[in-house]
Homo-oligomer: A and B are copies of this chain.
Amino acid sequence: MNGAESLVRTLAGGGVDVCFANPGTSEMHFVAALDQVEGIRSVLCLFEGVVTGAADGYARMTDKPAATLLHLGPGLANGLANLHNAKRARSPIVNIVGEHATFHRQYDAPLTSNIEALAGEYSGWLKTSINSRSVASDGASAVVAAMTPPGQIATLILPADTAWGVGGGIAGVPVPPSRAKVADERIRAAAEVLRPGRRTLLLLGDRSVRHEGLTLAACIGARTGAGLLAETSNARMSRGAGRPAIERVPYLVDAALKTLADYEHLILVGARPPVSFFGYPGQPSELQASGARLHVLADASEDQIDALARLADLVGAPARYQTPAPAPRLELPRSGGLDPASIAQVIGALLPENAIVCDESVTTGRNFFPATHGSAPHDWLQLTGGSIGLGIPLAIGAAVACPDRQVIALQADGSAMYTVQGLWTQARENLKVLTCIWSNRSYAILHGELAAVGVKSLGRSAVDLLSLDRPAIDWVGLSQGFGIQACRVETSEEFARAFRNGLEANGPCLIEVMI
């Protein structure tokens, strides 16, 4: 057994059952080993940003790592932007990067670069294997590191000769540490600021925005009068009928300041302190009211569900305490033109039971949350790190993780272009992904951002840098070119019909929604 086979068998034994790959020469033994070993599904992606974004989506839905397979420094570099998003989502990933054979590095061949320097920024764990006999135990360490709360990117750099040399046998993967329980004093401190008469917000993030956490938080809110909000961007949020209807901190600074203005205390549950996405002239970066106090109930690496349960007990709000009535499911709009409001209405009405929504809608999607509180129960995955180009890969990972569920990708056109090659992988794997492209043919967000930073008037050059017309991108043509059936819609009636057809398709579909 060579090093590569010992590593692949170790990963498989440790529960890694998918490898999203874009291999090159230095990874050929790893590829051959994937052939030899049962239990790891290989998924080819035609660009490394698709690989890493798919691994993020897989991790969000399974809470365990997929492996990636990337080719040397530039291959890693192409994957970094979606590793940025994955790090912000705290997704566990075993990120495998091939490297020149150890004896070859010193010659500075054309593809040589300092892989560790490139990987450091987004890796919670990082190691270059140095020989074929220890590569399996390095792989076991990577799996544990990836699974260590709150979840992180474990990068294993694999010189080619550690793959082709004699392996040291399969390594056992230890059980990763579990989430730490929060000390009693923090529970009591939170209960203290939840006393009547105080204006307190529970700000939820990480695991607390899944079903159990939301339910507990809603019970606490109903009992104490505390407000409830989720972070602006969440890795995976449970939503729809039967789940508490909880809004997010708004993206726009003015709206966020207004939303948070009333609260004297913010209790953070897996959430970071609320800050604006960008800094703007004359605007504060911190979004809580001036003088408001922040309290941490549980951070992202701690057991947020346990902490919420204990807090609920302490304030006399056990689970199944009375929560607000569920939001109603929307009706379909009457036929008419498409805009963010009518699009939201169609989605709210038609979102199927148990859907996984991968949302990279940017400007078009700012009102999707209110419209979908009453939809059938679903999970909602967002762009956690703000690096656009995640949506298409994220949908791949979610669909590979959950083959029995419908994935709905809500996708801005400008953002889709960064990882458009991912459509091909959706076609090859025949994934149940319905992609809706919001075709506004511009970087619409930047028009608003220009005004927000104080730019008053734009000339031709600036307008050209924000627009995607001249020529308009034909998303139906692109989609078909990658092997995915597609159509274009211009009214809400057409959109609803195409959406229903897409749900019935036996594989991926794309709808270009003209707005």
Chain A residues packing against B (C-beta within 8 Å): 21, 23-26, 28-29, 31-32, 34-36, 42, 44, 46-47, 49, 73-75, 77-78, 80-81, 84-85, 88, 100-101, 103-104, 107-111, 113-114, 117-118, 120-122, 160-161, 164, 232-233, 272-273, 275-281, 285-286, 384-387, 389, 414, 417-418, 420-421, 424, 427-428, 445-446, 449-450, 452-455, 458-462, 464-466, 468, 470-478, 480-483
Contact = CB atoms under 8 A, between A and B. Distances in A.
A421 to B, nearest CB: 5
B446 A107 contact: no
B42 A465 contact: yes
Contacts of A47: 389, 417-418
Contacts of A470: 428
A74 B81 contact: yes
A396 to B, nearest CB: 15
Contacts of A279: 100-101, 103-104, 109, 160-161
A108 B478 contact: no
Contacts of A24: 446, 449
Say how many copies of this protein the assembly contains. Answer: 2
A418 B421 contact: yes
B77 A84 contact: yes
A455 to B, nearest CB: 5
A414 B48 CA distance: 13
B164 A29 contact: no
Nearest to A385: B110
A250 B27 CA distance: 22
Given A42-B465, A471-B424, A478-B478, A28 B111 contact: no
Contacts of A384: 110
A409 to B, nearest CB: 18
Q: Could you say which of A36, A107, A281 has the most chain B C-beta atoms within 10 Å of its C-beta?
A: A107
A280 B103 CA distance: 10
